[in-house]
Amino acid sequence: MVKMAIVSVDTQRRIYLPKELDFKAKKAIIVPRGETYVIIPVPDDITPIDIDATIEELKIRADEKARKEAKDAHRV
């Protein structure tokens, strides 16, 4: 089940996430997507990886995969 909530933003642009969202991360990545934002929790233990690609190439791959997944999800 997808949980959603309307949250308040204070004058210092801090956002309070209610407990019902069960967001346990201490840090998050905020990704702008047009007029909206996606909040991605960052795990406490990050596993290092060795990959033969630049950051730019990884961004392009991630964007292509996200677009395909969104397109496929829209067909359902």
Over residues 10-38, the pLDDT tens digits come to 999 999 888 888 888 899 999 998 899 88
The length of the chain is 76
Burial group, residue 28, by CB count within 10 angstroms (0-12, 13-18, 19+):
middle
26, amino acid identity: K
3-state secondary structure of 14: coil
In the block, tokens 């999800």 appear at: 73
66, amino acid identity: A
Task: Give me the pLDDT at residue 10, please.
Answer: 94
Task: Give me the pLDDT at residue 31, please.
Answer: 92
Mean pLDDT of all residues in 66-70:
90
Task: Give me the pLDDT at residue 56, please.
Answer: 93
